[in-house]
Structure 1
Amino acid sequence: NFFKSYADELSEIADRVSANKEEYIIHPINQYHLIKRFATQWTEVNQLLDRFNRTGTKVHKAIKNAAHLFPKEEDIKGSAEGILRIQETYNLNTSDIAKGNISGQYSLKKLTTDECYHIGKAAFNGGLYDRCTQWMQFSLQRFEEGTQNFSKAHAEEYLKLLTANRIWIAPVLKLKNCFIHIPHTKNNLFLLHFIRTTENKITFYRRRPIVATKAHISSDDKSYKFSDDKKFSKVCRGDVKIPKHVERKLHCYLHTNNGNPWLMFNPVKVEELWDSPHIVQFYDVITSAEVDKIKKLAKPSLFRAIHVVSDEEDDDFQKAAYRITKISWLNDTSGPVIAKLTRRISEITGLSMNTSEELQVANYGVGGEYPPHLDVASEDEQRIYMLDHPEGRRIATFLIYLSEVQEGGGTAFVEAGVTAKPIKGSAVFWYNMYPSGDIDIRTFHGACPVMIGNKWASNKWIREAGEPFHRQCKLDRNADNRIF
């Protein structure tokens, strides 16, 4: 009976998806359901075939061979967190998301009441208490006894806890090395669980703070305060308007890099996104055929991104919980297309690639984002800055979009209040440092969550060693960045 009902369900999905697989997979609710099917139902199919000793069938062998690739429970949780990240950043309505409506595009199936409840749990564990309340209330409104994997009392307990402790539930997160005595009554069970488990779980919505000590910032900017998450979300939504006096300074033009022979007959299209710091977006810097080759080279070596968790005594590399993405590194020997792209970046920017890093290729998952940061150092250098790095600091960033993203997924420059749109074949370029060598903290930026789409991007970071004759240090310490 299980096999029959599941086969019928899959047949219905396959019939509707086969016409346009790409349209199906770019929707985050469809992605959530796909991950959930492989993590639960296909795993159950595999277990049932084992139980009924159907080990010799072709189907069972195929499933066995693929089982190690199946998502796990943590992936379901991660995709639920991705949905919440999208909701938080773009301020989406809970009811619309539950109906599968994200930015006017509907998923193949709605979220079940049980799924709404589990997204509410994810919101609670992530410290998004208002969102948890909304999801729990919604799950109770749609609740039908006997058809759910949770009891009505579970959702009600969460709501009671949130209502009773709304005043002090946030400050408790700041408690460290404190002993709190709470009677073990039935009404306090959720509260006890919260205190014991929440502190280490609030990761997916908290942006990892950028570390910029006074030594890294110019003398004029030592009192600088980095923007909060609300401004980052506001920029991602496009709620920040460009002032008229800035807009008048921005232009679009064709660029030949002072008559570079490679660009004379094929100049690059340039759009200025901001004037100070100078941020530009190039168009048609890479062809669709080259994009396909780069993706093909990167896919076999994609791995989950890591970040460094560091204190004064120890460094510890961990999987990045706050950025749902996989990355790969490609150098000029990986294929002719990479070497050709490296040369093209040099022609466009006028910088040497002798001390540039390998090309980083990234694919973002459900609600994938990268929180606001500076590119002047690599991730593992941001906590304890390596001033004696042989190639020096990252002087400039060349960010290439390898796919179209229907909604979201832009690069938000928080201080400028402008977002670069992820247009396939285009590239965003900026300097991370002033000509004086001071870090330009105005380039504080982050990758907005992908709302609808499948985002591929690549980065080429150019380090300062080898650039003295290509980008000379200005005598005026306060000289601003100009790319051309």
Structure 2
Amino acid sequence: IRHESVLAATLQKYIKAKMEILQNLQTYADELSEIADRVSANKEEYIIHPINQYHLIKRFATQWTEVNQLLDRFNRTGKKTISIKNAAHLFPKEEDIKGSAEGILRIQETYNLNTSDIAKGNISGKKDLTTDECYHIGKAAFNGGLYDRCTQWMQFSLQRFEEGTQNFSKAHAEEYLKLCEMGLDEFADDAYNITDALDLRNRANLIFFRPIVATKAHISSDDKSYKFSDDKKFSKVCRGDVKIPKHVERKLHCYLHTNNGNPWLMFNPVKVEELWDSPHIVQFYDVITSAEVDKIKKLAKPSLFRAIHVVSDEEDDDFQKAAYRITKISWLNDTSGPVIAKLTRRISEITGLSMNTSEELQVANYGVGGEYPPHLDVASVSNTTLFKYHPEGRRIATFLIYLSEVQEGGGTAFVEAGVTAKPIKGSAVFWYNMYPSGDIDIRTFHGACPVMIGNKWASNKWIREAGEPFHRQCKLDRNA
């Protein structure tokens, strides 16, 4: 009788525990189903908004992860639960929420957006951030050394503290606010702060001169001093706040391009818009069809991986994820499919350059606030040297193709020229990274602006020096 009494009580406790888990699962199921039904009505419109992207990542890193843990506790192995359990290793983690918050901060910094507008969803459409999310974005700003933004986000989270539920205490937010204000005071008069120093270290692969003597303002090489613009000018160019001088604007034209009577282009000339005269930067239109774009994306998606860079030391090279480059990339060669071989031939026809020593086609998809800071395309990705041996030489030219429309942001900003190429699906931007003499043209310093609204796909075809001397001959003037 004593055993039966204990077992009956144990069974009741077991059932109660299971019912509590089921109730929690039901709550999650109702909430997540309601969101899924609302989102599925228009997936594209939903996913292009950075706040929605943040929410999606956070749902998987928190709510869906908790669902998976509840299923573990329920100790069931039915088909429906197995599919969720098997997918759990693909769920975003806490570091992804942090990365997404940093993406929103990049958008805010580059496009000079107001904190309250972002929190209230007034980027483009109504997509509110919770008080808790504002606090976590403030923490991300603090960890990134953006003390002014940290101050704004913490102040805003404290103002809204009584709204809804929070997973942080008022004391924690006030403590972060004090630290951020201290950080602002400490670095107010400095030329650049700790973040800038770390940023330069992370971007060391973007400057290829040896010996490297880096400051915020310039890079020195031997007896020359090359002055590069700071991040503020990059942001201004991305926002379109830099006006093209009238004397330059008068030189720019739109025309049909046949590459001196190329038979393939005589019947179908390419539309060209000159973006800048010197260096000559042009944007070709309708170089690739929507059907070809879809095929390229389909080929690239299975092999997409997080962008990496090479960290070199005296002994060896080490590959690391690129914190400054928020993209996933894939490489496709002419044997990947007929559409790639056809595109390679078309690039050769348009540019007049040989593709024998060109690199494979790089396809990139940009994440939340995805950007690639200003850099030169001359060398392969390497942290230390431009002249690291490559059998086919340096990258003489860049052919950048846009594989998607981007509603806001995501352009290619040429910092020294002060001009931005707009990401228009099917178009391509082309420029030479070097003078015909082989000298580096530092005026081609450029970067990919953060994506504000949209899903950005782009691809690069880099053409190397070997095999091009007769296609692009030297001039009498070394700097021609």
TM-score bucket of the superposed structures, by smaller chain: 0.7 to 0.9
**C-alpha deviation, 1:20, in angstroms:** 1.2
Find the counterpart in structure 1 of residue 28 from structure 2.
6
Is the alpha carbon distance of 1:319 and 1:472 closer, same or farther for their aligned partners in structure 2, counting shifts above 3 Å?
same
Is the alpha carbon distance of 1:339 and 1:439 closer, same or farther for their aligned partners in structure 2, counting shifts above 3 Å?
same
Is the alpha carbon distance of 1:8 and 1:319 closer, same or farther for their aligned partners in structure 2, counting shifts above 3 Å?
same
Q: Is the Cα contact below 8 Å between 1:210 and 1:372 reproduced in 2?
A: no
Is the alpha carbon distance of 1:464 and 1:212 closer, same or farther for their aligned partners in structure 2, counting shifts above 3 Å?
farther
Q: Secondary structure at the match of 2:226?
A: coil
Is the alpha carbon distance of 1:421 and 1:472 closer, same or farther for their aligned partners in structure 2, counting shifts above 3 Å?
same
Find the counterpart in structure 1 of residue 200 from structure 2.
175
Alpha-carbon distance between aligned partners in 2 of 1:210 and 1:11, rounded to the nearest angstrom? 55
Is the alpha carbon distance of 1:329 and 1:33 closer, same or farther for their aligned partners in structure 2, counting shifts above 3 Å?
same
Is the alpha carbon distance of 1:173 and 1:82 closer, same or farther for their aligned partners in structure 2, counting shifts above 3 Å?
closer
The C-alpha deviation readout for 1:30-71, integer Å capped at 9, x for no partner, is 00110111111111111101101122242xxx1022112111
**C-alpha deviation, 1:315, in angstroms:** 3.6
**C-alpha deviation, 1:286, in angstroms:** 0.1
Is the alpha carbon distance of 1:17 and 1:227 closer, same or farther for their aligned partners in structure 2, counting shifts above 3 Å?
same
The C-alpha deviation readout for 1:216-256, integer Å capped at 9, x for no partner, is 99999922211110000000000000000000000000000
Q: Is the Cα contact below 8 Å between 1:217 and 1:439 reproduced in 2?
A: no
**C-alpha deviation, 1:380, in angstroms:** 2.0
**C-alpha deviation, 1:463, in angstroms:** 0.2
The C-alpha deviation readout for 1:288-310, integer Å capped at 9, x for no partner, is 00000000000000000011234
Matched, 1:423 2:424: yes
Q: Is the Cα contact below 8 Å between 2:218 and 2:227 reproduced in 1?
A: no
Alpha-carbon distance between aligned partners in 2 of 1:463 and 1:362, rounded to the nearest angstrom? 20
Alpha-carbon distance between aligned partners in 2 of 1:274 and 1:218, rounded to the nearest angstrom? 26
Find the counterpart in structure 2 of residue 143 from structure 1.
161
Alpha-carbon distance between aligned partners in 1 of 2:216 and 2:199, rounded to the nearest angstrom? 25
**C-alpha deviation, 1:331, in angstroms:** 0.3
Find the counterpart in structure 2 of residue 179 from structure 1.
none
Q: Secondary structure at the match of 2:398?
A: strand
Is the alpha carbon distance of 1:437 and 1:122 closer, same or farther for their aligned partners in structure 2, counting shifts above 3 Å?
same
Q: Is the Cα contact below 8 Å between 2:210 and 2:386 reproduced in 1?
A: no
**C-alpha deviation, 1:207, in angstroms:** 17
**Which shifted more, 425-434 or 94-103?**
94-103
Q: Is the Cα contact below 8 Å between 1:206 and 1:322 reproduced in 2?
A: no
Q: Is the Cα contact below 8 Å between 2:369 and 2:452 reproduced in 1?
A: yes
Q: Is the Cα contact below 8 Å between 1:298 and 1:330 reproduced in 2?
A: yes
Q: TM-score, normalized by length of structure 1?
A: 0.85
The C-alpha deviation readout for 1:435-484, integer Å capped at 9, x for no partner, is 111000000000000000000000000001000111111232121xxxxx
Q: Is the Cα contact below 8 Å between 1:268 and 1:283 reproduced in 2?
A: yes
In the alignment, structure 2 segments of 5+ residues that lack a partner are: 1-22, 179-189
Identical-pair percentage = 92
**C-alpha deviation, 1:73, in angstroms:** 1.1
**C-alpha deviation, 1:324, in angstroms:** 1.3
Alpha-carbon distance between aligned partners in 2 of 1:146 and 1:202, rounded to the nearest angstrom? 44
**Which shifted more, 242-251 or 469-478?**
469-478
Alpha-carbon distance between aligned partners in 2 of 1:204 and 1:16, rounded to the nearest angstrom? 43
The C-alpha deviation readout for 1:353-376, integer Å capped at 9, x for no partner, is 000000000000000000100001
The C-alpha deviation readout for 1:265-305, integer Å capped at 9, x for no partner, is 10000000000000000000000000000000000000000
Find the counterpart in structure 1 of residue 441 from structure 2.
440
Q: Is the Cα contact below 8 Å between 1:408 and 1:449 reproduced in 2?
A: yes
**1:33 aligned residue (51, 55, 59):** 55
Is the alpha carbon distance of 1:343 and 1:8 closer, same or farther for their aligned partners in structure 2, counting shifts above 3 Å?
same
Alpha-carbon distance between aligned partners in 1 of 2:431 and 2:477, rounded to the nearest angstrom? 20
Q: Is the Cα contact below 8 Å between 1:250 and 1:275 reproduced in 2?
A: yes
Alpha-carbon distance between aligned partners in 2 of 1:234 and 1:335, rounded to the nearest angstrom? 40
**Which shifted more, 220-229 or 73-82?**
220-229
**C-alpha deviation, 1:316, in angstroms:** 2.8
Alpha-carbon distance between aligned partners in 1 of 2:375 and 2:26, rounded to the nearest angstrom? 50
Is the alpha carbon distance of 1:157 and 1:206 closer, same or farther for their aligned partners in structure 2, counting shifts above 3 Å?
farther
Is the alpha carbon distance of 1:82 and 1:213 closer, same or farther for their aligned partners in structure 2, counting shifts above 3 Å?
closer
Q: TM-score, normalized by length of structure 2?
A: 0.86
Is the alpha carbon distance of 1:268 and 1:213 closer, same or farther for their aligned partners in structure 2, counting shifts above 3 Å?
farther
Alpha-carbon distance between aligned partners in 2 of 1:441 and 1:235, rounded to the nearest angstrom? 17
How many residues align? The count is 445
**C-alpha deviation, 1:175, in angstroms:** 15
Q: Is the Cα contact below 8 Å between 1:203 and 1:322 reproduced in 2?
A: no
In the alignment, structure 1 segments of 5+ residues that lack a partner are: 177-199, 480-484
Q: Give the aligned CA root-mean-square deviation in angstroms.
A: 3.8
Q: Is the Cα contact below 8 Å between 1:309 and 1:318 reproduced in 2?
A: yes
Is the alpha carbon distance of 1:36 and 1:166 closer, same or farther for their aligned partners in structure 2, counting shifts above 3 Å?
farther
Alpha-carbon distance between aligned partners in 2 of 1:210 and 1:285, rounded to the nearest angstrom? 39
Alpha-carbon distance between aligned partners in 2 of 1:243 and 1:201, rounded to the nearest angstrom? 30
Alpha-carbon distance between aligned partners in 1 of 2:206 and 2:443, rounded to the nearest angstrom? 25
**C-alpha deviation, 1:157, in angstroms:** 0.5
Q: Is the Cα contact below 8 Å between 2:312 and 2:383 reproduced in 1?
A: no
Is the alpha carbon distance of 1:206 and 1:240 closer, same or farther for their aligned partners in structure 2, counting shifts above 3 Å?
farther
The C-alpha deviation readout for 1:391-442, integer Å capped at 9, x for no partner, is 0110000000000000000000000000000000000000000011100000
Find the counterpart in structure 2 of residue 47 from structure 1.
69
Q: Is the Cα contact below 8 Å between 1:411 and 1:421 reproduced in 2?
A: yes
Q: Is the Cα contact below 8 Å between 2:378 and 2:386 reproduced in 1?
A: no
Q: Secondary structure at the match of 1:391?
A: coil
Is the alpha carbon distance of 1:245 and 1:223 closer, same or farther for their aligned partners in structure 2, counting shifts above 3 Å?
same
Is the alpha carbon distance of 1:458 and 1:221 closer, same or farther for their aligned partners in structure 2, counting shifts above 3 Å?
farther
Is the alpha carbon distance of 1:201 and 1:291 closer, same or farther for their aligned partners in structure 2, counting shifts above 3 Å?
closer
Is the alpha carbon distance of 1:221 and 1:408 closer, same or farther for their aligned partners in structure 2, counting shifts above 3 Å?
farther
Is the alpha carbon distance of 1:208 and 1:170 closer, same or farther for their aligned partners in structure 2, counting shifts above 3 Å?
farther
The C-alpha deviation readout for 1:173-224, integer Å capped at 9, x for no partner, is 8999xxxxxxxxxxxxxxxxxxxxxxx9999999999999999999999222
